[in-house]
Structure 1
Amino acid sequence: MSDVAPQSLPPAAPKPLRMVLVVACALLDADGRVLIAKRPEGKALAGLWEFPGGKLEAGERPEAALIRELHEELGITVKEACLAPLTFASHAYDDFHLLMPLYVCRRWDGFVSAREGQELKWVAPARLRDYPMPPADEPLIPHLIALQA
């Protein structure tokens, strides 16, 4: 028998969250307003407003994913040269960690239309906080406000 008291094991480290990479775009119109979309019913975070974009497909570059998503969601054509990286968000949700680069785009071809049934609004950056957004999107707002300063 040993005279050594049993040591308690350190608490198990939390299970690492899977990383999800999503790209987003702040489309800016001639008046400096940014486009936001309301997440439709039946989707996670339904009813919250967000910047257009979406998940990357396997092997897809962020810029290519954003060009694809903007065409699918809004019916517009964007050239990669018109996408300017602005900042990114990093947010831990309950079951995944979201990493979301935000690009700014001031030029595109076509007319913005809601192709997935989502509600769209053009909003002055200073008014973005008037619209409830997912936690990952909220830290992006000051960067968009600073663009207008």
Structure 2
Amino acid sequence: MTEPIVVVGAALLNDGHLLAARRSAPPELAGRWELPGGKVERGETPEAALVRELREELGVETEAVERIPGEWPLRAPYVLHVWTARLHPDSPAPKPLQDHDALRWLTPAELWDVEWLDQDVPAVRKIEPRLGRS
């Protein structure tokens, strides 16, 4: 049995809002929303992967804060781990640079206004109670 490959997702929190990113690729995911992130590379910690992926995908400088309990299956052999993250004070505003065509800062009341990717839904449910504490 192969070891699962970890994909990190970012619950990027700012002033009680959660950042959602709309996929532009691949075609079967385009138009749906996700927590930004990507694969952990060999020799990389999940926290370092999260910071790197957010820099590449959104052009921001961030810090991983804490892992959300749980692991969610993606297509084999990938599994999703989600971390809360925050922007560095001097970071530019996020922009959709890779694989996304729109970003939204969602309030707790707007959290379910977007069509989340199926695999992100359980993680977003775990993040929801934290929005008032970010």
State whether TM-score is above 0.5.
yes
Structure 2 vs 1, CA of residues 106 and 99 (structure 1 numbering), >3 Å: closer, same or farther? same
Check if 1:26 corresponds to 2:11.
Answer: yes
- Among 61, 72, 85, the alignment partner of 1:90 is 72
Give me the whole-angstrom Cα distance separating, in 2, the residues matched to 1:43 and 1:18.
28
Gaps of 5+ in 1: 1-15
Residue of structure 2 in register with 1:5 after alignment: none
Question: What is the deviation of 1:35?
Answer: 0.5
Any idea what the Cα deviations from partners look like across 1:44-89, whole Å, max 9, x if unmatched? 422210001011122221111111001001111123xx52212333
Q: Counterpart in 2 of 1:36?
A: 20
Could you say what secondary structure the match of 2:60 adopts?
coil
**Structure with the larger strand share:** 2
Structure of greater Rg: 1
In 2, Cα distance between equivalents of 1:73 and 1:48: 16
How many residue pairs get matched?
129
Q: Answer yes or no: is the 8 Å Cα contact 1:98–1:136 preserved in 2.
A: no
How large is the RMSD of aligned CA atoms in angstroms? 2.2
Aligned partner (choices 78, 82, 86) of residue 102 of structure 1? 82
Kept after mapping to 2: 8 A contact 1:89/1:136: no
Change in CA separation of 1:126 and 1:88 when aligned onto 2, cut-off 3 Å: farther
TM-fit CA distance, 1:119: 0.9
Higher relative contact order (CA 8 A, sep 6+): 2
- The counterpart of 1:46, out of the listed 15, 30, 35, is 30
> How high is the TM-score relative to the length of structure 1?
0.74
CA contact (8 A) 2:72 2:79 kept: yes
Which stretch of the first structure deviates more once superposed, 130-139 or 109-118? 109-118
8 Å CA contact 2:60–2:87 kept in 1: the answer is: no
CA spacing shift, 1:120–1:92, aligned 2, 3 Å: closer
Aligned-pair CA distance for 1:40: 0.3
Preserved CA contact (<8 Å) 1:126 1:145: no
Task: Tell me the residue number matched to 2:125.
Answer: 142
